[in-house]
Amino acid sequence: MAFNFTNQSTLHAGIIMDGNGRWALGRGLPRAAGHRAGVATVERVVEAAPGAGIGVLTLFAFSSDNWRRPPAEVDALMRMLSSYLEKEVGRCVEKGVRLQAIGRRDRLAPGLCRAIAQAEAATRSGTGLWLRIAIDYSGRDAILAAARGLANLSRESLELALGPPVDLLIRTGGEHRLSDFLLWESAYAELVFSQRMWPDFGPEDLEAAVREFRGRVRRFGGIPAPTPRRQEAWLD
């Protein structure tokens, strides 16, 4: 990967895309209509991310707990994910987007697994944006799986196994919780909670969240360096 994570102008943003179902029900539509509208929002946000200073974008598409939803809704979500991956491969290659899925794959349908593998292979050389889509994902399970696969367990080795630290974590839909998303990676993330349902979230909302992030002081447990006291020229 050619992404420079030490460059302060390049962010890793994670987004919990919440509110699709409520958006649809509030309009008298089936929940699946909200998920379809949410896919369109993904396309807009991915397009806008590099211009907002985001180098890595991780989207929470389907949690391991979402299997508890009605089978018809789960089936619709999986079909949409497969369709999105197949449809967006060409655009990702054109725009230099590297696409990767994180999470379990052993419970996914073979067709979706093929779509994931093909998208990852076709976009592997992209350096404009690293787009990570969390499917059948649990932050706690990801930490356990990474730890079990390490011969020498340390903070550094675990971070390498899990992925880059999150700078900015956004949750739409008005809820204020992490819901088992990127728990290790978000240890020092700045959190932004939006009242907008995900289908209504747009590039301007993404840019506003980044501006809010840029205006915060990140101490990482320390104390910021004092601002030098200004001395008037006539005292010199």
Candidate list 4, 65, 66, 106, residue with the active-site label: 66
Which residues 6+ apart lie within 8 Å of 77 measured at CB? 35, 61, 62, 66
Give the residues across from 190 on adjacent strands.
168
Question: Considering Cα of 103, then 193, then 130, then 214, what sign does the dihedral take?
Answer: negative
136 is catalytic: no
How many other CB atoms are found less than 10 A from the CB of residue 193? Answer: 16
Where does residue 149 rank: exposed (0-12), middle (13-18), buried (19+ CB within 10 A)? exposed
18 is catalytic: yes
State how far the Cα of 145 lies from the Cα of 161, in Å rounded to an integer. 9
- Closest by alpha carbon to 49, among 108, 131, 150, 125? 131
Candidate list 4, 18, 152, 200, residue with the active-site label: 18
State how far the Cα of 87 lies from the Cα of 81, in Å rounded to an integer. 10
Return the active site residues: 18, 66
